[in-house]
Amino acid sequence: MNRISLIGCAVVLAGLPSFATSASAAGDQDAIIRRLDKLEQENARLEQENAALKSRVNRVDSRGGTAARSAPPAAGPQYADPPPPAPGPQPNIALKAPVEYIKACSMYGAGFYTVPGTDACIKIGGYIRLQGTFNGSGEGTVNGADNMAPQGRNDRFDSSNVNYDARAVMSADVRAPTSIGMLRGYLRVGAEMDTPIGSSWMTTLAQPVQSNAPFVFWDRGYVQFAGFTVGKTRSFFDIFAASDGYLTYGNLRTTGDTDLTGVIVAAFTYNWGNGFSSSLSVEDPNGHYKVGAANLASPAFGLGTLTVDNAFQSGALNQGMGVPDIIANLRVDESWGYAGISGALHQVAGGYFSSPVGDPCGAFAPCSALGHPPVKFGGAVAVGGDIYVPTGPGDTFGVNAVFSDGAVDFATKGNRWQLYSGNSAGFAWGVDGVFDNVGSDGSIQLTQAWSINSGYEHHWNDQWKTSVYGGYAAVNYNGTATGIINQHLSATPARVAGAAVCGVPVEGVVQPPINMTGAGNTCSPDYSFWQVGTRTQYSPTPWLDLGVDTTYTRLDTAYRGSNVTLAGNGAQPGSATFSIDNQNVWTVMARAQIHFLPGK
């Protein structure tokens, strides 16, 4: 018998003594009958209330309550017609499941919380950024360099003085203890609007410049377990760089660091103890902004353009590979900072030879019928680190040096340059190697490149900090490569085959299209450039950054000399006489960014 029925019986039993007393005292049979009728009505009301409560419990159980999962619902009293609603307010007897509260995971650092029902912890972060740039792209590539080469014409039609980058990013960091150690998964994705080059700044050199339309990107997405790292992250070759808000807001060309975009890797790291670790990694060569080899028998070096002829590149996408980059490093991480040394093995493979006459695939077109150059392997080495210095709490000083042979992009992202200033202009082209089936043995001549970058940051107080940074990069072709390139020069736009320019008889396609005799010219495709700058940032709260960054860039041009005739180039006139000379660019960036535990 349930609680409601017991209450009804108790009411009846409690009323009997009163009834007997009234009967004996008054002797009024009518009064007794009226009292019994009242008790019978009260009992019927209680039964109706009991039936209504049972029906309500059954409805709760049918929506997932524990009673619904363990036993069929109990049947209440049956009525020919639905029972009348119970009078008065109904008691709240909804069944509640146990509550498991989210707790902080202090073992992994700030921002981590438990995932209910598991032993995993998760941190959600991200940032929102608006950045404006004068004389550069929204994300900070200087005018005249790489995908910003068209802007280097510096005229009212081809150039944009001011650009911007608007970006919103979310990240998730999940960690869980397992029998093989900690399991970690990290993802960082976002949406961005970057003017004037859109998403092309995150792709390889051979891909077309895209519009200013917004795009979705991911620069991190990897899994770590038992010493393995698999997915997209910063290359294991990279040690130190001024990038991604650390020291600068710009996208410096003096470094080949992949921190801004990430690269696909499959790596294993072994910790030796006392802060020492070593890693072995296989990586997508396109992640280091791979440019590859140039076929000088086809159009390759243009004014502000660079076309490569790589093997295994998936056609015009330049996204394939024959052999992945193989990376090894050794580093030490301590309370004073970190230092490391790394090396890379990089394949350089040309596509096919071509010919201006009798080419079965069309004039100057790479063709399988003509054969291909032998595959070569280049490489790079780097040494660097970043340490805390005693000039103030949190102050740091870092340096990184890279030398490469046949792997230009490990040392620098500055592969092509075009800068006009009045009747003066500067140009440069950098590739892993060059080849030609005319005037040489057809082998790939590897290009050497080196760079050095450094930066210092001082914290004035908890809200203000200033950094000073700089870098230098140089690209050098050997004597054979220089001769291959120079044999394609021309004294005039109307090529005279066999005429000597820079002391070399000319033939084939005209390139680079800088027409000269060679007199008073360096006759060298070598080039170098350097960038220096300073950034000051104010953070009124730990999650808000407001700052200004100023960078000076100087290009030491290839083929420096006077009395050079250039072809028409955008709004720049053709058949005009220019001096090929060193060029300078000042770039100013301003940023406002809110960030909440974005991670790396």
pTM: 0.81
Q: For residues 143 and 584, give the distance between their C-alpha atoms in angstroms, rounded to a whole number.
A: 10
pLDDT of residue 129: 96
CB 261 within 8 A of CB 139: no
Question: Is 184's pLDDT higher than 50?
Answer: yes
The per-residue pLDDT for 10 is 40
Can you give the pLDDT at residue 64? 42
The model's confidence at residue 44, banded by pLDDT at 50, 70 and 90, is low
**The predicted structure's pLDDT at residue 274:** 95
Q: Quick one: average pLDDT of 101-115?
A: 88
Answer for the pair 357, 363: CB distance below 8 angstroms, yes or no: yes
pLDDT by residue (tens digit) across 490-537?
Answer: 877 766 766 788 888 888 888 998 888 778 899 999 999 999 999 999
Share the mean pLDDT of the chain.
84
CB 481 within 8 A of CB 449: no
Other CB atoms within 10 A of residue 560 CB? 20
- For 537-568, write each residue's pLDDT tens digit: 999 999 999 999 999 999 999 999 998 989 88
Closest CA to 167 of 183, 190, 143, 137: 190
Average pLDDT over residues 4-17: 41
CA gap 498, 500 in Å, rounded:
6
Give kind and range of the element (H or E) at residue 36: helix 29-62
**Percent of the chain with pLDDT strictly greater than 70:** 80
> What was the pLDDT predicted at 72?
39
- CA 377/CA 97 separation, integer angstroms: 64
Task: Please write the tens of the pLDDT for every residue from 375-409.
Answer: 999 999 999 999 999 999 999 999 999 999 999 99
DSSP string, 463-521: SEEEEEEEEEEEEE--HHHHHHHHTT--SSSS--TT-EETTEE--SS--S-EE--STTS
Residue 186: what residue type? Y
Distances in Å between the Cα of 490 and the Cα atoms of 124, 483, 494, 511 are 59, 13, 8, 8
Structure tokens at 322: 């024959």
Distance CA(468)–CA(391), nearest Å, equals 14
CA distance linking residue 294 with residue 300, whole number of Å: 6
- With CA atoms as reference, report the closest residue to 394 among 457, 468, 470: 457
57-83 CB burial, b ≥16 within 10 A, e <16: bbebbeeebeebeeeeeeebeeeeeee
Mean pLDDT calculated for residue range 146-174 = 94
| Alpha carbons 373 and 367: distance in angstroms, whole number | 12
Supply the pLDDT for residue 578: 92
Contacts of 233 (CB under 8 A, 6+ apart): 186, 220, 222, 262, 263, 265
pLDDT tens string 245-256: 899 999 999 999
Cβ–Cβ contacts within 10 Å for residue 356, how many?
14
Greater model confidence, 397 or 104: 397
Side chain identity at 260, as an amino acid letter?
L
Once rounded to an integer, what is the mean pLDDT over residues 10-18?
Answer: 41
What kind and span of H or E run contains 54? helix 29-62
- Are 156 and 191 in contact, with CB atoms under 8 Å apart? no
* Helix, strand, coil in percent for the chain, rounding step 5: 15, 40, 40
Is residue 319 pLDDT above 80, yes or no? Answer: no
What pLDDT is attached to residue 563?
87
**Which residue matches tokens 């050199």?**
205
Average pLDDT for residues 475-503, to the nearest whole number?
86
Beta bridge partners of 224: 184, 229
- Alpha-carbon distances, residue 304 vs 309, 510, 567 (angstroms): 17, 15, 12
The length of the chain is 600
Q: What is the pLDDT of residue 51?
A: 63
